[in-house]
Structure 1
Amino acid sequence: MGFVNLLTMAKRFTGIIAILLLLRLTTASASHEFCDARMGYNVVGCGGSDSSSRRILIKGGTVVNAHHQEVADVYIDDGIIADVKPNIKVGDEVAVIDATGKFVMPGGIDPHTHLEMEFMGTDSTETIDDFFSGQAAALAGGTTMHIDFVMPVNGSLSLGFKAYVEKAKKSCMDYGFHMTITKWDDTVAREMEIMVKEKGINSFKFFLAYKGIVMINDELLLEGLKKCKSLGALAMVHAENGDAVFEGQKRMIELGITGPEGHALSRPPLFP
């Protein structure tokens, strides 16, 4: 593949991201900070025109789906894709985006994020991105939804859910939640049912590593798996030998290896 072809592909890829980002900016409610960075687009909730912003026609782009691609128009009404076909006719009240020569693709979904997470059980250290900065970066790359992991508060799923709903108030894109299970008793079992039936969470994470923080034992894991089965929920497992990792971590500290390289070195080799 020659340089000219690579350059052409790069330009078209940039066009993809531009359309995805513009679509997301136009349909999402935004924080004031997001409005300030909107680059002149009419954004609902940022002083733009509600009537034109809620009806959008992306015109003349190459629409790419899982099974085929075609040159077509995409009509969005109040954030919902209402029609996809060539030569859609609309009135003056509809905002039109010219996508000629560009790809129009569904936004990506990132199913594994840790935004604004208290790191390794500490109150003083959080992951660097919050629900605004992390989502804004995702949007810039064409990801339009993510699923974050709710960490329980003192083992309570309900308190953890409440805390993450509060964190997510600054969101600028769509999101969902997984729920982490760090202990087991009748209360947790009941709360899992509440999460599935009332809160829209149907996936639960079990850690077999990070001893003394979020690691669980095999007995708890089996109870959690049985509960997931009864609820029709998805069980996710961070599958490591937590005790072996813990010994490896202690060895790294004894050797004075405390940088990022210690993470891999603390794990047992694949082949002894």
Structure 2
Amino acid sequence: RFRTDGFTHLPAMRELGAHWMIDALGAMRRAAACGVVLAAELRACGVDFSFTPVLDLDWGDSSVIGDRAFHADARVVTVLAQSLMQGMARMGMAHCAKHFPGHGYARADTHIAAAEDPRPLETLLAADAAPFHWLAPGLRAVMPAHVVYPAVDAQPAGFSTAWLRIILRERIGFTGAIISDDLGMAAARAQGQSLSQAVLQGLQAGCDLMLVCNQSPVDGGRALDVLLREVDDALDRGQWSPDERSAQRRFDLLPSQPPIAWDDLMVSDTYLAALEAVFS
């Protein structure tokens, strides 16, 4: 997350959901404007992808999701997320909807603890997963939750063939990239697997890209060196193999147009209009 003074501090997504309750069209315009500002500023600084929007429902109990969620109503979440993504696309940036099939009901913070959602599959699909289903035809990427849904699988969704291949791909019809959440999170390795075992488990379950964050400063990056070596060894042993379709899904996330340089952005009519709309 970028928190320096140079970037615009966008409103929390929950604020947009509250705006919806008094002015739905105004909230949609603000969401689209947030997407424009977010994408334009990041791209001007060389960042070409953002792991947003959050499609989790705001059940009010999840401290880690908190005000990142738009609303408790899946329909409102869907419309505002769509508006945000349209704004991002206008500036040439792809998106990643998260955290499939929904993290908002699980109270635990998956950064520091294992999390579980005990509800049955049909309840999950009818409520929390609904925005993913409704938006599936236009979603570029999806990030699964490091949450266990025991009614479906004993593995967290990001390591579950049932969730990724059977439900997300086959039942929902999602065709974009699947990107794991950070494998450094406690919930990702709650069963004691190594970093390389988690990577392989995610790839085998159906992920196209595995995220390993905040490891470079640790032991001079040794953990990453070990990871790359062990994944290469697993490739040699036939435990996983590259997939051309998966590679294409990753390439499809690259920017669709050149960025606007920062100085030019500061006088861009499109950007300035969006900036005004964000705080209107």
Q: Same fold judged by TM-score > 0.5?
A: no
Q: In proportion to residue count, which structure has more helix?
A: 2
Q: How does the TM-score come out when normalised to structure 2?
A: 0.31
> TM-score if structure 1 supplies the norm length?
0.32
Structure number with bigger Rg: 1
The structure with higher relative contact order (CA 8 Å, sep 6+) is 2
